[in-house]
Structure 1
Amino acid sequence: MGIQDIVEGKKQWRAHVARVKALPPDYQIVYKEMQKYLFKVGPIDLADGRLLPEIVDFFEEGVASGKGVLELIGKDVAAFCDDLIKDTRTYADVYQESISANPGTAEK
């Protein structure tokens, strides 16, 4: 990864953050909670993927149609996020595989 890649990545992230800040306050709160949840349990390719920008796209469409954020995703933010990443490999999957690969061995 060169310097140009880093600079371009920062530009993209700043543009993404600006889009989030343009959302209504209730959408921003839910987005931030989703982001925290996904960074904690989410897919391995979250940083390189399109999931977060696609969530913002979805939210922008909801705002344009006049819907509240909870009308779009429901009351359980974690369940909505889990549904988004259900077919994606997560860090929890990697950890579980590493444990399953060495059954009966314990760290000392």
Structure 2
Amino acid sequence: MNFWDTITGNDLNREWKAFEARAAVLPPDFRAAYEEIKGHIFGYSDFTGRNLMPILDGALGLLEETAADGQSIHDVLGDDIQGFCAALAGEEGARNFRDKWREQLNRNVARKLGRLGG
């Protein structure tokens, strides 16, 4: 990856298009599950989303393999896709961007109140 691609995000665009092309050939129920995974996993993104690319690649690979093996989407993911995404992002209860922002806001407010109060 060259510097320009990193700065502009061109590498992410190429990778994203490749993911979408791979997902397009999945059976309909697997494609729907992939769309739901994308919707839930973005809450765990960093500023650029670069940290999600290996996670999405792994999830898509899992869906491709299990579809090829003839398994059902329910056998693979169960009923809790949101929990599956949390597990992919780190662990159950993994912090998402709202949690991080809330903690930062609380620290900033506490720091300001500490300065005002004492």
Same fold, TM-score > 0.5, yes or no:
yes
What corresponds to 2:116 in structure 1?
Answer: none
Matched position secondary structure for 1:67: coil
Structure 1 residue 46: deviation in Å? Answer: 7.3
State whether residues 43 and 91 of structure 1, in contact with CA within 8 Å, keep that contact through their aligned partners in structure 2. Answer: yes
What corresponds to 1:55 in structure 2?
Answer: 59
* Residues 47 and 68 of structure 1: CA distance in aligned 2, closer, same or farther (over 3 Å): same
Which of the two has greater helix per residue?
A: 2
CA RMSD of aligned residues (A): 2.5
What corresponds to 2:15 in structure 1?
Answer: 12
TM superposition score normalised by structure 2:
0.72
TM superposition score normalised by structure 1:
0.78
Give distance in 1, aligned partners of 2:103 and 2:74.
35
State whether residues 12 and 50 of structure 2, in contact with CA within 8 Å, keep that contact through their aligned partners in structure 1. Answer: no
State whether residues 45 and 96 of structure 2, in contact with CA within 8 Å, keep that contact through their aligned partners in structure 1. Answer: yes
Which protein has the larger Cα radius of gyration, Structure 1 or Structure 2?
2
* Residues 22 and 85 of structure 1: CA distance in aligned 2, closer, same or farther (over 3 Å): same
Identify which of structures 1 and 2 has the higher relative contact order when contacts are C-alpha pairs closer than 8 Å and 6+ apart: 1
Q: Counterpart amino acid of 2:98?
A: A
What corresponds to 2:69 in structure 1?
Answer: 65
In structure 2, runs of 5+ residues without a counterpart are 114-118
In structure 1, runs of 5+ residues without a counterpart are none
